[in-house]
Structure 1
Amino acid sequence: MSTQTTNTIRNVGIVAHVDAGKTTTTEHMLFESGRIRSLGRVDAGTAQTDWLDVERERGISVRAASTAFRWKDCTINLIDTPGHVDFSSEVERSLRILDGAILIVSAVEGVQAHTETLWNAMRSLGIPTLIFINKMDRIGASAERVMGEIRKYLSADIAVIQRFTGEEADFHAVDRLWYRQEGGALTRGEQSRQEDYDALWEKLAEHDEQLLDDFVNGRLVPDDELYDRLIALTAQSQLFPVMFGAASKGIGIPELMDAIVELLPPPAGRKDDPLSGIVFRLERDKVMGKIALIRLFGGTVRNRDVVRNSTLGVDEKVTQIRKIHAGQHEDVGMLEAGDIAGVCGLSQVRIGDIIGSGEGIAPGHRLTEPLLTVQVLPANGAEYPQLVAALQELAEEDPLLDLQWHQNERELHIKIMGPIQLEVLTHVLHSRFGLHPVFGQPTVIYKETPSREGIGFVAYTMPKPCWAILKFHIEPGERGSGLVYSSMVKPEKLLPSYQNEVARRVPEALQQGLNNWEVTDLKVTLIEGEHHVWHTHPLDFVLATPMGIMDGLARTGTALLEPYIRFRLTAPEEANGKIMHELTLMRAIFDYPVITGERFMVEGTVPVASSLEFPVKLSTLTGGRGTFAARFDGYRECPPGTEAVRPRRGVNPLDTSKYILSMRNALGSQRS
Structure 2
Amino acid sequence: MLYYSGLTDRIGDVDQGDTVMDYLPAERDRGITITSAAITFHWRDHKINLIDTPGHADFTFEVIRSLRVLDGAVTILDGVAGVEAQTEKVWKQASEMEIPRIVYVNKMDRESAGFGRTVKEIVSKLNTQVAIINFPFFENGKVNSEGKFQGIVDVIEKKIIKWSEGSDGKNIQVLDITEYNEVALECEKARTALIETLTELDDNLVEHYLEIGSYMDVSPNEIKKALRKACLNKKIVPVLCGASFKNIGVQPLLEAVIDYLPSPIERPPPKAITLNQNKNAKKTATPYETQITIDPSNKNLTSALAFKVVHDNKKGMMVYVRVYSGTLHHNSIVLNSTTGKRERIMKLYQMHANLPIETTSIEAGNIGVIVGTKEIRTGDTIVAHGLKRDGVKSLSKAESHLQLHPIKIPPPVFFSSIDPLTLADTKNMEEALVVLLTEDPSLHVMYDEDSGQTMLSGMGELHLEIAKDRLVKDLKAKVEVGKIMVSYKETIIDSTKTCTQLATLSTQTDETGPSTATVSLLVEPADSDISLGAEIISRDNIYVSYPEHLPENFLIPSKDILRSVNRGIVPGIAKGGLKSHLPLHSLHVKVSNISIPPDITNPSAISLATRLAIEEALQSIKVESYCILEPIMDVKVMVAEEDVGTVVNDLSSNRRGSIISLKDSEDFFQENTNDINYRDLANSIYTPPDFTMYMSKHGDRARSSQSIIKAQVPLEQMIGYLNYLRSLTKGRGTFTMDFHSYQKAPTTVDFNR
CA drift at 1:32 = 1.0
Contact 1:294 1:341 in 2 (8 A): yes
CA drift at 1:581 = 2.5
Q: Give distance in 1, aligned partners of 2:199 and 2:540.
A: 38
Counterpart mapping for 1:231-630 below 5 A: 231-268=228-265, 269-270=296-297, 272-356=299-383, 361=404, 363-366=406-409, 368-405=410-447, 410-448=452-490, 451=493, 457-461=502-506, 466-472=516-522, 474=524, 476-478=526-528, 482-483=541-542, 485-492=544-551, 496=558, 497-507=560-570, 509=572, 513-514=576-577, 516-520=581-585, 524-534=589-599, 537-549=602-614, 554=621, 560-571=629-640, 573=642, 576-584=644-652, 585-590=654-659, 591-592=661-662, 597=701, 601-605=707-711, 606-622=713-729, 624-630=730-736
Q: Give distance in 2, aligned partners of 1:462 and 1:334.
A: 51
For the residue of structure 2 that corresponds to 1:395, the secondary structure is helix
CA drift at 1:527 = 4.1
Q: Give distance in 2, aligned partners of 1:423 and 1:303.
A: 37
- Return closer, same or farther for 1:216/1:287 CA change in 2, 3 Å cut-off: same
For the residue of structure 2 that corresponds to 1:470, the secondary structure is strand
Moved more, 368-377 or 420-429: 420-429
CA drift at 1:45 = 0.7
Corresponding position of 2:284: none
Q: Rg bigger for which structure? A: 2
Corresponding position of 2:154: 176
For the residue of structure 2 that corresponds to 1:424, the secondary structure is helix
CA drift at 1:417 = 2.3
CA drift at 1:451 = 4.5
Amino acid at match of 1:238: K
CA drift at 1:377 = 1.7
- Return closer, same or farther for 1:363/1:218 CA change in 2, 3 Å cut-off: farther
- Return closer, same or farther for 1:290/1:537 CA change in 2, 3 Å cut-off: closer
Moved more, 610-619 or 272-281: 610-619
Amino acid at match of 2:47: T
**CA deviation digits over 1:519-577, x for unaligned, max 9?**
5556655443222334685223323334555666749966724231322231572x555
**CA deviation digits over 1:212-238, x for unaligned, max 9?**
899999977954444222112211222
Corresponding position of 2:389: none
CA drift at 1:288 = 2.8
1:89 corresponds to 2:132 = no
Amino acid at match of 1:503: N
Contact 1:290 1:345 in 2 (8 A): yes
CA drift at 1:436 = 4.4
- Return closer, same or farther for 1:408/1:148 CA change in 2, 3 Å cut-off: same
Corresponding position of 2:117: 145
**CA deviation digits over 1:588-642, x for unaligned, max 9?**
23334759957663411222111213333333334x4342321214115235546
For the residue of structure 2 that corresponds to 1:238, the secondary structure is coil
Task: Tell me which of the two structures has the higher relative contact order, counting C-alpha pairs closer than 8 angstroms and 6 or more residues apart.
Answer: 2
Counterpart mapping for 1:45-84 below 5 A: 45-84=17-56
Amino acid at match of 1:625: G
Contact 1:453 1:475 in 2 (8 A): yes
- Return closer, same or farther for 1:550/1:179 CA change in 2, 3 Å cut-off: farther
CA drift at 1:109 = 1.5
Contact 2:106 2:241 in 1 (8 A): yes
Moved more, 216-225 or 424-433: 216-225
- Return closer, same or farther for 1:522/1:106 CA change in 2, 3 Å cut-off: farther
Amino acid at match of 1:609: E
Contact 2:414 2:461 in 1 (8 A): no
Percent sequence identity over aligned pairs: 26
Amino acid at match of 2:719: L
Contact 2:639 2:734 in 1 (8 A): yes
Amino acid at match of 2:407: G
Contact 2:521 2:589 in 1 (8 A): no
For the residue of structure 2 that corresponds to 1:317, the secondary structure is strand
- Return closer, same or farther for 1:619/1:193 CA change in 2, 3 Å cut-off: closer
Corresponding position of 2:76: 104
Q: Give distance in 2, aligned partners of 1:641 and 1:628.
A: 31
**CA deviation digits over 1:80-124, x for unaligned, max 9?**
111122222222211111011111111112222221111111111
For the residue of structure 2 that corresponds to 1:442, the secondary structure is strand
For the residue of structure 2 that corresponds to 1:275, the secondary structure is strand
Corresponding position of 1:657: none
Corresponding position of 2:4: 32
Q: Give distance in 1, aligned partners of 2:656 and 2:329.
A: 58
- Return closer, same or farther for 1:290/1:640 CA change in 2, 3 Å cut-off: closer
Contact 2:461 2:719 in 1 (8 A): no
1:201 corresponds to 2:260 = no
CA drift at 1:349 = 1.4
Amino acid at match of 1:563: I
TM-score in terms of structure 2 length: 0.73
Contact 1:450 1:476 in 2 (8 A): no
Amino acid at match of 1:581: N
For the residue of structure 1 that corresponds to 2:264, the secondary structure is coil
Amino acid at match of 2:463: Q
Counterpart mapping for 1:196-235 below 5 A: 196-208=190-202, 223=219, 224-235=221-232
Q: Give distance in 2, aligned partners of 1:400 and 1:69.
A: 30
Corresponding position of 2:395: none
Q: Give distance in 1, aligned partners of 2:626 and 2:598.
A: 35
For the residue of structure 2 that corresponds to 1:173, the secondary structure is strand
Amino acid at match of 1:387: M
Amino acid at match of 2:520: L
CA drift at 1:143 = 1.7
Q: Give distance in 1, aligned partners of 2:737 and 2:590.
A: 34
Moved more, 479-488 or 141-150: 479-488
Moved more, 540-549 or 152-161: 540-549
Contact 1:164 1:171 in 2 (8 A): yes
Q: Give distance in 1, aligned partners of 2:612 and 2:85.
A: 43
- Return closer, same or farther for 1:168/1:522 CA change in 2, 3 Å cut-off: farther
Q: Give distance in 2, aligned partners of 1:608 and 1:212.
A: 54
Corresponding position of 1:7: none
CA drift at 1:298 = 0.7
- Return closer, same or farther for 1:278/1:238 CA change in 2, 3 Å cut-off: same
CA drift at 1:353 = 1.1
The number of residue pairs the alignment matches comes to: 611
For the residue of structure 2 that corresponds to 1:178, the secondary structure is coil
**CA deviation digits over 1:267-307, x for unaligned, max 9?**
12237141100111222334432221111111112121101
Counterpart mapping for 1:5-44 below 5 A: 29-44=1-16
Q: Give distance in 1, aligned partners of 2:213 and 2:112.
A: 41
Moved more, 73-82 or 164-173: 164-173
TM-score in terms of structure 1 length: 0.81
Moved more, 94-103 or 633-642: 633-642
